[in-house]
Structure 1
Amino acid sequence: MAAEIEIALELNMSLGESPLWSEARQTLYWVDINRGMIYAWRPESGAPPETITLEEKVGCIALCEDGLLASMSSGVVRLRLPFDGRLERLAANPEWNKEGKKEGKEEQQGNRFNDGRCDPARRFWVGTIDAEERHPTAALYCLESGELVRREAKLGIANGLAFSPDQRWLYHTDSLTRRIMRYPFDAASGATGTPHTWVDLQSLGLPGVPDGAAVDSEGCYWSALYDGGRVVRFSPQGELLAEIEVPCPHPTMPAFGGRDLRTLYITTATQHLDAEGRARWPAAGGLLSVNLDVPGLAEPVWSEN
């Protein structure tokens, strides 16, 4: 695919993630997980992005009517925009525990939240990541009636959550396996069926691991390959259709935005680069973009039900 990658914003993010576009606000939101930061940027304004810094790592965000949901390490919260400093706790993270005090502060540990998004019925789904990124201690949850209900267990790094335009499939990956799974999905009930391996990076000879993802209007799945230096597009049948190389090794997640949803924004990371790597890859930690012919899909807005 002939596509020209641009650096939309030069930033120094440690672990940029979870970009999502609000059509109503014409704003792109995303996070820097490690720094607990949420970014908000209106590309047409010509102004730099605004930021909110929270006291915990923020794995992912989702749109809600008057602001955002944020999956902080200890739980899912709602914050209204413009932000007034108040956070409304919606659900606690069942994998995050208090561990006494150190230097007068409560120490906590466990598995933080990672990737998540709303499904077509406006439910919020979110997965966790094993604290050591090695063991199958993480899980995938759905927020139902104010409680996080576990839907999938024994994961290492929950990632790549997306839904097909016909609402028949849920896509998800445990990044450590290098396989993208596809689950039969019932949008009305939120029920999932038995998953099967839909894409295997090893068998395709693709580098890196599958990280965050987005689905376009043709039902094709875009995956950022962390440590693979590219984003890839798969058909609904799991065929590799396109590869777009990016100017850094750690793209993290794509999202469609812009007035016509034809701009693919891509977050990136610097967290695994030393000084030499950062000098070699100056685009790392920035927000990238590429214009595409096929538009994406509007991101659902969470509904409390």
Structure 2
Amino acid sequence: MAADDIEIVHALDMSLGESPLWSVARQTLYWVDINRGTIYAWQPAGEAPPERIRLEEKIGCIALCEDGLLASMSSGIVRLRLPFDGRLERLAANPEWKKEGKEARQEGQGNRFNDGRCDPAGRLWVGTIDAEEAHPTAALYCLDGGQLKRRVSGIGISNGLAFSPDRRWLYHTDSLTRRILRYPFDVERGELGEGDTWVDLEALGLPGVPDGAAVDSEGCYWSALYDGGRVVRFSPQGALLAEYPVPCPHPTMLAFGGADLRTLYITTATQHLDGEGRARWPAAGSLLSLPVAVPGLAEPNWAGR
């Protein structure tokens, strides 16, 4: 396995591709373009191109539910059934988002939802991002029992959420700090202990910031380094095991998929590239893949109503 094994699965022009998510039951890969409010759905076993669902707000992340998806949009978390019929069921409002007017479709302001995923018990964890991407005004929340509860405050860009296979640890990062934290996790109660620095990119001399992540079945944590042009793999002890350069500077997030969960899918972005940069990096904004030896973990469904 080498960086040369990375392939362009779909040549796309995503502004901010994010939140790749593999459904074992449906054998389908889902992902989003945050800035364009678009959800993609694609079945590798077929020949059809990705389907697209366009919503009216930015979509920070998605999660699986029994008959469709959850989407953490700017203004709140919604449920949509598949095939999509145009209806959205509102599950929770974003406490950091305010509408500028009375019209439901009018743009709002504040901190939108960003990275998130379900824990092994089916709770949805989702964080926000500071509107200016510079100040610690964001937070990490948990949608549990129909209530959205704030769990961690003082965050700039909530990212890198993942859980260890033994269910003992929750991983999370504030991308602005360039550090990945590890929190003791009680999966039965959905509670966190005190987090501490588990990986420090500065200390390791790694470029970019830690963005989206995924954990494999050996408990190793894979991270996309935004503006670092690579994905990296860390051992359960936080040691750097491998680096894989990607053909663009802004990989965003990772997901294990395919029938054996041995394909690492990588979303990418064009949002910070000018015309010269896009010409230099034609793969930017596309969906990439990398075959891996160690399979990933199946993503749990949201366990709510």
* Range of TM-score over shorter length: over 0.9
Partner Cα separation in structure 1 for residue 291 and residue 53 of structure 2:
28
Where do 1:286-297 residues align within 5 Å? 286-297=286-297
Determine the structure 2 residue equivalent to 1:111: 111
**Matched residue of 2:277: which SS?**
helix
Partner Cα separation in structure 2 for residue 117 and residue 105 of structure 1:
26
CA apart distance, 1:99: 2.2
Determine the structure 2 residue equivalent to 1:280: 280
The alignment's C-alpha RMSD in Å is: 1.2
**Matched residue of 1:100: which SS?**
coil
Determine the structure 2 residue equivalent to 1:48: 49
TM-score by length of 1: 0.98
Partner Cα separation in structure 2 for residue 205 and residue 101 of structure 1:
49
Where do 1:1-305 residues align within 5 Å? 2-3=2-3, 4-100=5-101, 106-304=106-304
| 2:9 partner amino acid | A
**Matched residue of 2:176: which SS?**
helix
Q: 2:162, 2:215 within 8 Å by CA — same for their partners in 1?
A: yes
CA apart distance, 1:131: 0.2
Q: String of CA shifts for 1:32-73, please: whole Å, max 9, x gaps.
A: 000000000001101100000000000000000000000010
| 2:256 partner amino acid | F
Q: 1:101, 1:107 within 8 Å by CA — same for their partners in 2?
A: no
CA apart distance, 1:147: 1.9
Q: 1:140, 1:152 within 8 Å by CA — same for their partners in 2?
A: yes
Question: What is the percentage of aligned positions where both structures have the same residue?
Answer: 80
> When the two structures are aligned, how many residues end up with a matched partner?
304
CA apart distance, 1:101: 6.7
Q: String of CA shifts for 1:156-211, please: whole Å, max 9, x gaps.
A: 00000000000000000000000000000011011100001000000000000000
Structure 1 stretches of at least 4 aligned residues deviating more than 3 Å after TM superposition: 104-107
Question: Bigger CA drift: 106-115 or 79-88?
Answer: 106-115
CA apart distance, 1:30: 0.2
| 1:19 partner amino acid | P
Query: What are structure 1's unaligned runs of at least 5 residues?
Result: none
Partner Cα separation in structure 2 for residue 107 and residue 209 of structure 1:
29
Partner Cα separation in structure 2 for residue 76 and residue 97 of structure 1:
14
| 1:76 partner amino acid | I
Question: Bigger CA drift: 162-171 or 92-101?
Answer: 92-101
| 1:237 partner amino acid | Q
Q: 1:247, 1:284 within 8 Å by CA — same for their partners in 2?
A: yes
**Matched residue of 1:82: which SS?**
coil
Partner Cα separation in structure 1 for residue 282 and residue 108 of structure 2:
34
Q: 1:7, 1:283 within 8 Å by CA — same for their partners in 2?
A: yes
Q: 1:138, 1:155 within 8 Å by CA — same for their partners in 2?
A: yes
Partner Cα separation in structure 2 for residue 202 and residue 298 of structure 1:
31
Q: 2:118, 2:301 within 8 Å by CA — same for their partners in 1?
A: yes
Partner Cα separation in structure 1 for residue 277 and residue 148 of structure 2:
39
Partner Cα separation in structure 1 for residue 42 and residue 88 of structure 2:
21
Partner Cα separation in structure 1 for residue 253 and residue 121 of structure 2:
22
Q: 2:56, 2:105 within 8 Å by CA — same for their partners in 1?
A: no
| 1:181 partner amino acid | L
**Matched residue of 1:273: which SS?**
coil
TM-score by length of 2: 0.98
CA apart distance, 1:145: 2.2
| 2:285 partner amino acid | G
